[in-house]
Structure 1
Amino acid sequence: MTSIAFFDIELNTTGKLLLDIGCVLSDGTGFHKNHPEEFAQFITQCDFICGHNIVAHDLAYLRRHFGHPEWGLDKAIDMLLLSPLLFPRQPYHRLLKDDKVQTEERNNPLNDAKKARDLFYDELSAFRALDDTFKGILYGLLHNQSGFDNFFRYLNYAAPVNKEQLTSKIRGLFQGEICKESELDHFIDEDPVALAYTLALLNCDDRFSITPPWVLKNYPDVERLFFLMRNNPCLQGCDYCSRAHDPLLALKKHFVFSGFRKYGDEPLQEDAVRAAIQGESILAVFPTGGGKSITFQVPALMSGENAKALTVVIAPLQSLMKDQVDNLEKKGITEAVTINGLLDPIDRGKAIERIENGYASLLYISPESLRSVTIERLLLKRKIARFVIDEAHCFSSWGQDFRVDYLYIGDFIKNLQQKKGLDYTIPVSCFTATAKQKVIEDIRSYFKEKLQLDLRVFRADASRTNLHYRVYQRDNEEEKYSQLRSIIEEKNCPTIVYVSRTKRARKLAQKLTSDGFVAKAYHGNFNGLHNGVWFFCLAQILAFNAFSGYLCIF
């Protein structure tokens, strides 16, 4: 009968001092003491040794201790390496949390060894339940990889390993799920482990299951392979790419629109969306209310579905972030979250959990949030599809709203890429409503210098034919107020009245209310509104659309 030892060792925080060893054999015999030599003797007759993260952790220490660079590797089965292959779907295995085994008793390696035994037998059952074709794919990719190889030996499992057959099996099983032009032969030769993790996640066929953070950290090529096979439209337009990368299909699916907005006769919105889908970095200068949000939301939702990736939207105003998330939820799109200073600890925790668990494809944050360790750690755990920078004129000292924290964005992205071990630059989309040529040059120069990105510019005509301006000269406050009342009565539509002070906004709202109008005062002292918002009195109704109503400067 095949004998297997399940073990775990406890080290101090520096990883240099052994504190304890726990082991249980497949026949139930146990070992629990801090004595490596006795442990080695205890397992000497075992055919296999098994544990969680033993290749990189437990055996690494024991190899140094015994002075043998290969000690234990010829018998090792590492369940950490196997878990994402066999339990890729949410909810994940009850004993797993990222790279740790869940246990009720901390710092007890014998207890952890018993948990590892339970997990191992569940992994055996999970493998046996797999489709025969996928079993063969996993064997073909991993049968000669340390930590994986002995799992197949324990099972006495073997399958054809000819690369041509392996490639054919992958294309057949994932037909219509990956790009037909994917260079599978190259991936098999260069990144077999990363390819196995990528295919396991695709094989579970669950929209919100994601790659565990420890896999992204140790096998960063998983992100690249996901991109190349699922998020990189081929020139030939294979069946998968024609369906998965069609922005019109995505627009119809998520927003029920049959086509994108045109500016004049130019399809700039659709062109910008297609450029983002192709992985280009862009700068879009579209007028307020001209569809900037959809231009980045459509590619973000597509990347979330195709590559299980997160798009990070950096915006200056907390109230606008919340507004965008709320508007998406009204459309039935629940994949967007915001993390900002207005959230209480419970809501903040829920938002973080949704990102960690893969339920969010869009994250809205302020530029100041990039200095948060929590945000950095959060983004390290997810594949990042793109950074979107709203109100991008804030980069430029020539712009009307220069924000110093915007200048940190490039450094943050560069540092994040280095920590994730990426060999490519995460693309960027910048959006602004109005930008002079000097501001556009500043934005493009910034990203060229910081990230070596060339931003493709999509610029709409800034003129707004639906806006009309009229000036009324009145000599005193009473005449001004009388004129305002006449305008409101004449237009009979949602009206915004801008004033210069908070106190004046309140007084004007009170006066309009006393005269029979429905008026409310909004200003920067209200909770939930950014301090930079102009003080204004909103007359007629509270919910309004600035461009379907009437604007008065008072």
Structure 2
Amino acid sequence: MSDASPRGSSERPFRPRCLSIDLEVGLRSGRIRQLAAVRGDSGERLHCRVGDLAAALARLDALASGCSFVLGHNLLAFDRPHLAAVAPRLRLLELPVVDTLWLNPLAFPRHPYHHLVKHYQDGGLRRAQLNDPLLDAQLTLDLFRDQMLALQQRQREEPDLMLAWHWLTTSGQSSEAVHSLFATLRRRPRPDDAEARQAIARLLAGRGCAQHALEVVDAAAASGWSLAYALAWLSVAGGNSVLPPWVRHQFPAAGKLIGHLRDVACARADCCWCREHHDARRELRRWFGFADFRAEPAAADGDSLQQRIVEAALRGEHLLAILPTGTGKSLCYQIPALSRFTRIGALSVVISPLVALMADQVAGLRSRGIDACVAINGLLSMPERADALDRVRLGDVGIVIVSPEQLRSPMLRKVLAQREIGAWILDEAHCLSKWGH
């Protein structure tokens, strides 16, 4: 990967020997309407509004001559298949591929990811104007430069993580360019299996269940990019980061690995992670500072009913909890919701019909220094509503309280679809009888 590693201002500029390409394809026809490309090393450009597609593809192929790899954003799932469908003999299709969409969660796992990439389901590029493939090809080069700089920093700070990524992302086919990228950054060959598994074990230590971590390490060779994305998220877990929505959709195993490590308690008494993060009393003290749950109302055996409810919710069980007014009902769902948010980044959706109660819930949590809750109802101004939806979308909150009629909103449903939902909570039973349909 010649000159693919960014340099300081006193050294050579960033000039990867690649061709960055982008296509505009008709939504209904599926035909290529425009194509564009930029050479990373020379800056040569090509932009064709397709009339004679064969001639345009020939020019594109000629521009790729001498390149070490092809670069694109969502290249593997979109641009390359379209090119292969119309011209399977293109020489550029034989070149190794680097997809900046796939690299982005590794380079920028922490919210808000990268300013050139939208935090939406498709992970598309942010652009100043639509339908400009030449601009997108240049934006992809800019993004790739920033990704390489970020990965260089990761190599200095977390060499184990880079080692694990090098091994995990280059185990299958079409990995030649990615291998070259990591080999350039690490200045080392691809690690062997034993070395990689040892690094992954070190990365998982203290970040999840020890027993489940052993299982993940044993199966690591088959986990590939999914485990790479899981490790990226774990490296910044506990803040406001979430797995990008497109990762959850295209690599569902990534979320399952995180859940297996952090959201499923083992039975071993010596597992410090599970004993700390799945213990109802410890979570009560952590979030609310109380030493113990309310003794009343009590279960049939005399134990705290409040504690029983929280324990069942922490285990992820479906449950109906009935408590008298004023006996700490809200805490029964707040503790599991906040715990799940910090463990796996999941969102809990609370359906509540009372606007005044929503405000009280948010204010009560904020008075304890908990800012991970937001309410959405019809009384919000447009700027307030937009801010609340952004906080939900970007992973700033773990609890969203909505009035029942808000679920008719296409925008709210679109935002919810971009988060992993940890629980649906009906705060009042009559929400189900009145609005359940």
Question: TM-score by structure 2 length?
Answer: 0.85
Query: Does residue 6 in structure 1 map to residue 39 in structure 2?
Result: no
- Aligned 8 A contact 1:247 1:273 in 2: yes
For the residues of structure 2 that align with 1:56 and 1:119, how far apart are their CA atoms?
18
Q: Which amino acid aligns with 1:305?
A: T
How do 1:111-260 and structure 2 match up within 5 A?
A: 111-130=135-154, 131-145=158-172, 149-157=176-184, 158-162=189-193, 164-182=194-212, 183-185=215-217, 187-205=219-237, 207-237=239-269, 238-260=271-293
For the residues of structure 1 that align with 2:110 and 2:169, how far apart are their CA atoms?
20
For the residues of structure 2 that align with 1:144 and 1:191, how far apart are their CA atoms?
10
Q: 1:140 to 1:256 in 2, by over 3 A?
A: same
For the residues of structure 1 that align with 2:112 and 2:94, how far apart are their CA atoms?
31
Q: 1:22 to 1:117 in 2, by over 3 A?
A: same
Query: Does residue 343 in structure 1 map to residue 370 in structure 2?
Result: no
- Aligned 8 A contact 1:87 1:93 in 2: yes
Query: Does residue 104 in structure 1 map to residue 104 in structure 2?
Result: no
Q: 1:150 to 1:255 in 2, by over 3 A?
A: same
Q: Which amino acid aligns with 1:171?
A: A
> What's the Cα RMSD here?
2.2
- Aligned 8 A contact 2:70 2:95 in 1: no
Shift of 1:171: 1.8
Identity of aligned residues (%): 32
Shift of 1:313: 0.9
The equivalent position to 2:315 in structure 1, one of 249, 255, 278, is: 278
Question: TM-score by structure 1 length?
Answer: 0.68
Shift of 1:92: 2.1
Shift of 1:52: 0.7
Q: 1:190 to 1:154 in 2, by over 3 A?
A: closer
The equivalent position to 1:310 in structure 2, one of 324, 347, 359, is: 347
Query: Does residue 31 in structure 1 map to residue 52 in structure 2?
Result: no
Q: Deviations over 1:232-251 (max 9, x none)?
A: 11111412112222222221
For the residues of structure 2 that align with 1:168 and 1:314, how far apart are their CA atoms?
45
How do 1:502-517 and structure 2 match up within 5 A?
A: none
Q: Deviations over 1:437-467 (max 9, x none)?
A: xxxxxxxxxxxxxxxxxxxxxxxxxxxxxxx
In structure 2, the gaps of 5 or more residues are 3-16, 51-55
- Give the aligned partner of residue 98 of structure 2: 77
For the residues of structure 1 that align with 2:22 and 2:356, how far apart are their CA atoms?
50
For the residues of structure 2 that align with 1:178 and 1:20, how far apart are their CA atoms?
47
Q: 1:187 to 1:381 in 2, by over 3 A?
A: farther
Shift of 1:156: 3.5
For the residues of structure 1 that align with 2:292 and 2:333, how far apart are their CA atoms?
15
Q: Deviations over 1:299-349 (max 9, x none)?
A: 111111111110111123233222212222222221111111121211111
For the residues of structure 1 that align with 2:431 and 2:43, how far apart are their CA atoms?
66
For the residues of structure 2 that align with 1:221 and 1:17, how far apart are their CA atoms?
33
Shift of 1:105: 4.2
For the residues of structure 2 that align with 1:57 and 1:184, how far apart are their CA atoms?
31
- Give the aligned partner of residue 465 of structure 1: none
Query: Does residue 321 in structure 1 map to residue 397 in structure 2?
Result: no
For the residues of structure 2 that align with 1:381 and 1:73, how far apart are their CA atoms?
35
Q: Which has the higher relative contact order, 1 or 2, with Cα contacts under 8 A spaced 6 or more apart? A: 2
- Aligned 8 A contact 1:78 1:147 in 2: no
- Aligned 8 A contact 2:68 2:95 in 1: no
- Give the aligned partner of residue 456 of structure 1: none
Q: 1:104 to 1:239 in 2, by over 3 A?
A: same
For the residues of structure 1 that align with 2:272 and 2:85, how far apart are their CA atoms?
52
- Aligned 8 A contact 1:198 1:222 in 2: yes
Shift of 1:297: 0.2
For the residues of structure 1 that align with 2:261 and 2:91, how far apart are their CA atoms?
36
Q: 1:315 to 1:155 in 2, by over 3 A?
A: closer
Q: Which runs of 4+ in 1 moved over 4 A?
A: 68-71, 145-149
Aligned residues: 399
